[in-house]
Structure formats: C-alpha cells, structure tokens
C-alpha cells in the first residue's frame, strides 16, 4: 500500500505498519457471484488470435457489451428491487443514446454511399446487422426481465405495475375521471388520409397507432395519438400502490377521441431519430445563433434510425409505419412488454427506501473541515499543499463547489475563470456563485460548451442568463469542443497575486457528483496556475500556446506525451509498469503503443468502464495486458494514469480525457500531473483497490467476450472507498495540518 495510505479501520493518526491490500479491504457481506446465477456469464471462449483474427475489437459492439454488463446488474437478485429497476432505466437511456448517435452515424455512411471499414475489419453493413442482432437480444432480455421477474417481485413488496385487465369497477371510475380532467384535454388525434398527410413523429416520443373503422362507409383509417411527454408515464391508482402506464389509460378511452367510430386496434410505438448535432458552419459569426438554428432544423429533419413497436402490431400497420418513416426491416424492434425502459426512473423515484441501497452521504476530509459549522478557508488550506478529492465519497459541496463559492464571496479575489460542459443549470450553486461574483465587480469568465450533446438547449439558456449579469461568456475554440474541467481563481494577497486552481475528471454538476465516481485536484502551485492561465488565454483569445509546464493539453500534445510515456515504460530495464483507468480506449495509435509495450515486457493493467477496442491477453500481441471493467452503484468516471513501477519512479496524472480520437484530436482536454507523494499514494490506492475488486469487476478475454470475475475475497471497490472516505473525515490533523492521506 505504501506509507500514508490509511487502514480502513484505523485513523491516519495511528496507522499500523503497511500490510497487504486485501488485508485492509473488508469482505463483502453480500452473497458471492457463485451464489448469483443470474450474474454468471457463459464461460469465455479461449480463442487464440490468429492472423485472421483482427487486432482490434469492434467499437460499436463494445458499447453493447457494456450495456450487457449494466443488464447483468439488473439481473442480480441480491440487489434491492428498485436498484434493479434503476439499472433497467440506465440501460434504456444508454441504448437510446447509442442509436441516436452511433447507429445514426453508421446510417449516414450508408446514405452517403461512402463505404468504410472499421479497424476490426467490419463493413458498415456488417456492423448494422450485428447491432440489430445484439440490440434485439438486449431488448428481449431486458423487457422479459422486467415483465417476468422484476414486476412480480415488486408486486410482492406492494408496488404493482398493473394493466387494464387487472382493474375493478372503482379503478375504472377513477381512471375515467382522471382521463377526462387531465389527459383528454392535451391529446390530439391525427388522422392519415388523402387530406391529412402522415404526421411528423418526434424523437423518442411514445405514440399509439390506432386503426378505426367508419361504421357508415365501412372504411378503415389510420390515426396517430401522441402520448403527452409532460404527463406522468405511470398513473397512480387511489391505493398509491398500483400504477398503470399512461398509454394503456389512453387506449382504454380511445372511443372518446374517435366518437362514432369503431376502434379496431391500437398498439404503442416509439421512434428514435438522429440526435447528433451537425453544425456545418462552425466559423459562423454567431455560434450561439448557429447552434439554435441547427437545433430547430434537427427537430424537424432528423432521420429515423429505430422503430420500436408493440409485439402484437399487425403487419399491415407495421408496414405503413415502415413505409412512411422510410425504414428498413432491420430498423424495427418488436417489444413484448413495456416500451421505453428509461421511463422506469419514475418507479425508482418512489419513496421506498426499504427497496433501495442505503443512501450514501459524501464526507468532508479533515483539511476541508472548518471550525464548527463554518466552512473551511480553502485558500489557507492550499498553502499547506495540494488537496485531492474523490467523489462521491468526498463531498463535492465542500470541495469544488466551496472553492468557487468562497472565491465569489472573497473581496480579495479579482477573477474567476471556469469551463462549464454540463451543469445543473441556473439553479446550480456554482452558476449562482459566478453570477454573485460578477455582480460584486469581479472579472468572471465562463467558457460554456454549447455543443455538449443533449444539453445544447439548456446550455444556451443559462449562458444567456450569465451574460445578462456581466459574466464574460465565451464558447471556446472554432472546430473544437471544450471538455477540460478546470477552474482558476486569481486572488490579491499581502505579498503578491496568487492563483488557485481546480482540475478534475468530472463536470461541475452537483447532481452527477453524487453518482459519478471522479477525482479532482485543488492546488496553489504557481507553475500549474500559470499553465491554467495560459489555457484560458488559448480558449478565450488568440494564442498558439503549445507548451505547458505542468498540464498536458489536447489537441496540441496529449496523445504524443501519452505515447512517449508508454514507450518509456517499454524501454525500462527489467520491464515497465502501466495502469490506466479511463472510460474508453479506442485510439489506434495508443492501442498500438500498448501492444508494443506489452511485447517489450511491460506489465499493463487497464480499467476501462465502457468501450475497449484493444484485444488483451493475445499470445504474441498483448500477453501482458489485462483489461477489466467495474459496474456498480456509482458510475466509474475518473481518468487516472500511472506510468512507472512502485516508488518514486511512478508518475500519476488525472484529467478529463478518454483515449479516443475525438478526445485527443477534436476536443480541448487537460491532464495534470499529481506530484505530491501522499496524493500519489491516494491515486495508487484507488487503482490498487479497483484491481483487487472481485465483486463488481468483469474481465475482457482474448476472444473479445467479457466474463464476470469470480468473487473469492469479496472486495467491493465502491464499499471500500466509502470506508476510506470515513477514515479521511475522521483523521486528526498532523504534519503541519497536512494529513498523510490528504
């Protein structure tokens, strides 16, 4: 473990002699994987890569592999019921995004008649066919799980997702009144006939395809009824324990929408469209206006990439939808169950703590604790050395958020500069602090990324709110997204002007900071402060700055520096050591550098949450590379890089960048070295615990399949980090106020 890393049970003031990592990690009380047959993956095929087997795994199928690991969490019967519902909702969101971005991109290649082959050798058509098969299997498994396992289990706990067939007379009376008072007024049936063209079906909308018959003319007609997205997806019945999907309530009373007509059939369907913002003119004089125009265009013109329909829909109705939406048969997914699993967030939100994990309350490490109820003076604390925070175990509120809040209130602070990619909007404490700082006369710069996918409209709204109070709002560099997570505070002190910085791996968003695992560095290091100043000058003005003293910055040199350090480990006498923790590894140059390092004798461990195109453990190619993925209660999101063996020779970095071409070539990213030895020990501890985990971990095989790591010692990394946070919060100050674990 190394000196300075606290025992889970002991305080930092009275640490025992270093012992093995496993001795410090409590054994999980939950059943082992061997006792959870639902989590067991089929035995991996131990295929040995040959020349015919590609060096890379397919990027798109790797994403679906991750979604299967999420589904495995929903299948885990040892989890509280509503946590299983939460993983089903996460799966639904993930697959939605996959289709609206990745599948949309593949379909654009087909439409453009630009044949492309992925690095693993698959053509665009082959990828689309493989996606259809894999996504269909995921959909079948997930809806079957919800219908046949999760719903009956919820029913036993007093939470029932019921259907029309299960309603009594009192229920019908209640729903009839509810329909007429709250639902009927916002419904708009749209007929399709020679006088009424087929209506536009909006992105991710839930609809009813209704066939009606005119009893006088004996004609069959099609109509579409949109399920209003502003109404609750599930209607609570009077007992508060039973819930019925909104589309079933609408279907029950369709006769009131089509008086005098015979309702022949009705079936729900859902459309997914291309949602990837395509800004043609990134050099537009007004980038904000250009993005607003593109969002409006996208709402009406985006291509349909997926159609989900009720399994009982007739071939006649399905054929009409496929024809009008200009789809291929492989774009259609029949669903025998609830459409749109992401709507299950409404069920997870029920006030049933007995069916959820125990709430985790982030803690404040000693150096950030003030006296009594007072907030710590972060600027004074940083004069004693850098501070590393690990969210959500360490509190975001009392660290990154408090850093900006204190700067806004401090009369000696002259300027605050911050990048903002995704926040919780104008209600965010950080945004409110920036507004307060601007109103008090401080120079405030907010670099807002308008092209943050899915948040474009929200970012535009609060960017305009910031501008109205005098914040200098800029939108970054032409042609690049700004993904770096950095903040700079310039403060007047008795002896000089001093700069304080925060560099992190996660967004400045207090909501996601409670569920995303991230790390951040707070520092008063002058050279790092100078670097961050230069970075903001690059982002807000005209600068060709390419060299920094501390920071590694994309796109000007991050990839080359990472490859340089990989090659250095490959050349290290006796063999090097590399540990990388990222969300995605896709970049071919870095994959090839890692292959070469493995062949040179370097031991490499990769902790990859999601996408991985590197094939590990292949004889002669990647024998010394191991890849694992952790999927648990919190989303693994931090990026931590270690180069070098144990001891003083190892270098550690943290930052915003994943190892993907988009991050390294088309985004502004920032990685910062962690130089303080005690903080290096903290990062080493995070990596070591995640490498020892045998409860949440999955292992990538040479064949490309993922298998669950057998639970033998019961090491749950996320539980371990909770205990470490408790130890940091309880530790007494020592070493001139700088606790060993910082």
Catalytic residues, by residue number, are 483
The residues facing 416 across adjacent strands are 444, 489
Token duo for residue 4: 């300075």
Distance of CA 587 to the CA centre of its chain: 19
Q: Which one, of 519, 741, 742, lies nearest residue 634 by Cα?
A: 519
CB 272 within 8 A of CB 100: yes
Helices (H), 494-541: 526-540
Q: Which one, of 145, 165, 36, lies nearest residue 85 by Cα?
A: 145
- State how far the Cα of 3 lies from the Cα of 648, in Å rounded to an integer: 12
CB 711 within 8 A of CB 698: no
Angle between helices 677-692 and 717-730 (to 10 degrees): 150
CB 44 within 8 A of CB 26: no
- State how far the Cα of 410 lies from the Cα of 576, in Å rounded to an integer: 47
- State how far the Cα of 88 lies from the Cα of 247, in Å rounded to an integer: 20
CB 235 within 8 A of CB 172: no
Task: Give the list of residues 6+ apart from residue 360 with CB closer than 8 angstroms, or none.
Answer: 392, 393, 722
Q: Which one, of 629, 633, 610, lies nearest residue 721 by Cα?
A: 633
Q: What angle do CA 33, 35, 38 make, to 5 degrees?
A: 75
CB 573 within 8 A of CB 549: no
Q: Are strands 635-636 and 516-523 parallel, antiparallel or unpaired?
A: parallel
Helices (H), 27-168: 59-75, 81-98, 104-111, 124-145, 151-156
**Cα-Cα end-to-end distance for the chain:** 15
3-state secondary structure 704-736: CCEEECCCCCCCCHHHHHHHHHHHHHHCCCCCC
Residue length of the chain: 742
- The burial class, CB within 10 Å (0-12 / 13-18 / 19+), for 320 is middle
Task: Give the list of residues 6+ apart from residue 402 with CB closer than 8 angstroms, or none.
Answer: 368, 375, 376, 378
The residues facing 580 across adjacent strands are 606, 641
H helix or E strand, kind and range, residue 265? strand 262-273
Q: Which one, of 651, 709, 662, 689, lies nearest residue 59 by Cα?
A: 662
Q: Are strands 332-335 and 706-708 parallel, antiparallel or unpaired?
A: unpaired
Token duo for residue 546: 């390419």
**DSSP reduced 3-state for 284:** coil
Spatial strand order of the sheet with 234-236 comes to: 160-161, 242-245, 234-236
Residue with tokens 């289990």: 153
Alpha-carbon distances of 597 from 292, 560, 622, rounded to whole Å: 46, 15, 9
User: What's the Rg (C-alpha) of the chain?
Assistant: 27
């Amino acid at each position: 473990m190394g000196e300075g890393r606290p025992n889970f049970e002991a305080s930092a003031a009275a640490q025992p002699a270093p012992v093995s990592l496993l001795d410090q990690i409590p054994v999980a009380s939950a059943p082992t994987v061997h006792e959870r047959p639902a989590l067991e993956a089929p035995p991996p095929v131990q295929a040995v890569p040959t020349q015919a087997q590609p060096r890379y795994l397919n990027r798109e199928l790797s994403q679906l592999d991750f979604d299967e690991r999420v589904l495995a969490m929903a299948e885990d019967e040892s989890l509280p019921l509503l946590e299983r519902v939460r993983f089903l909702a996460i799966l639904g969101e993930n697959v939605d995004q996959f289709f609206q971005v990745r599948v949309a991109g593949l379909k654009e290649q087909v439409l453009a008649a630009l044949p492309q082959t992925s690095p693993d050798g698959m053509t665009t058509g082959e990828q689309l066919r493989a996606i259809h098969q894999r996504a269909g299997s995921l959909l079948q498994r997930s809806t079957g799980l919800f219908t046949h396992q999760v719903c009956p289990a919820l029913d036993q706990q007093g939470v029932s997702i019921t259907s029309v067939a299960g309603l009594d007379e009192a229920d019908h009376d209640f729903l009839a009144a509810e329909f007429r008072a709250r639902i009927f007024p916002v419904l708009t049936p749209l007929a399709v006939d020679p006088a009424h063209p087929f209506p536009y079906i909006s992105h991710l909308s839930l609809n009813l395809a209704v066939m009606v018959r005119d009893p006088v003319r004996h004609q069959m007609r099609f109509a579409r009824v949109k399920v209003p997205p502003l109404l609750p997806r599930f209607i609570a019945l009077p007992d508060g324990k039973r819930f019925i999907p909104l589309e079933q309530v609408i279907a029950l009373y369709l006769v009131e929408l089509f008086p005098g007509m015979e309702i022949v059939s009705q079936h729900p369907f859902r459309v997914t469209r291309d949602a990837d913002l395509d800004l043609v003119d990134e050099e537009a004089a007004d980038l904000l206006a250009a993005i607003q125009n593109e969002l409006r265009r996208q709402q009406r013109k985006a291509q349909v990439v997926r159609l989900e329909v009720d399994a009982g829909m007739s071939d006649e109705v399905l054929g009409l939808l496929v024809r009008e939406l200009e789809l291929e048969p492989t774009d259609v997914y029949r669903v025998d169950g609830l459409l749109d699993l992401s709507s299950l967030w409404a069920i997870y939100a029920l006030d049933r703590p007995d069916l959820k994990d125990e709430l985790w309350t982030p803690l404040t490490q000693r150096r950030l604790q003030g006296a009594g109820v007072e907030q710590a003076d972060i600027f004074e604390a940083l004069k004693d050395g850098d501070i590393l925070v690990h969210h959500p175990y360490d509190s975001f509120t009392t660290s990154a958020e408090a850093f900006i809040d204190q700067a806004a209130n401090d009369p000696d602070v002259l300027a605050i500069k911050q990048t903002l990619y995704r926040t919780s909007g104008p209600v965010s404490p950080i945004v409110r602090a920036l507004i307060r700082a601007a109103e008090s006369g401080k120079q405030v710069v907010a670099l807002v990324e308008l092209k943050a996918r899915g948040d474009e409209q929200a970012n535009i709204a609060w960017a305009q709110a910031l501008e109205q109070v005098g914040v200098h709002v800029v939108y970054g560099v032409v042609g690049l997204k700004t993904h770096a997570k950095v903040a700079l505070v310039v403060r007047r002190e008795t002896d000089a002007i001093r700069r304080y910085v925060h560099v992190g791996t996660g967004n400045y968003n207090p909501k996601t900071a409670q569920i995303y695992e991230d790390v951040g560095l707070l520092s008063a290091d002058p050279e790092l402060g100078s670097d961050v100043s230069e970075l903001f000058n690059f982002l807000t003005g005209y600068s060709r700055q390419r060299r920094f003293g501390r920071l590694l910055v994309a796109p000007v040199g991050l990839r080359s520096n990472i490859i340089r350090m990989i090659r250095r480990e490959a050349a290290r006498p006796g063999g090097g050591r590399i540990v990388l923790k990222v969300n995605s590894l896709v970049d071919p140059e870095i994959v090839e550098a890692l292959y070469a390092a493995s062949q040179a004798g370097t031991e490499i461990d990769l902790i990859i949450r999601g996408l991985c195109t590197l094939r590990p453990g292949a004889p002669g190619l990647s024998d010394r590379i191991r890849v694992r993925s952790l999927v648990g209660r919190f989303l693994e999101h931090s990026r931590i890089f270690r180069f070098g063996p144990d001891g003083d020779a190892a270098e550690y970095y943290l930052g915003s960048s994943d190892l993907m071409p988009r991050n390294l070539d088309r985004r502004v990213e920032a990685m910062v070295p962690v130089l303080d030895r005690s903080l290096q020990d903290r990062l080493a501890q995070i990596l070591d615990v995640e490498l020892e985990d045998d409860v949440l971990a999955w292992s990538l095989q040479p064949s490309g399949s993922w298998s669950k790591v057998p639970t033998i010692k019961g090491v749950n990394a996320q539980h371990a980090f909770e205990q470490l946070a408790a130890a940091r919060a309880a530790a007494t100050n020592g070493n001139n106020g700088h606790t060993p674990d910082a």
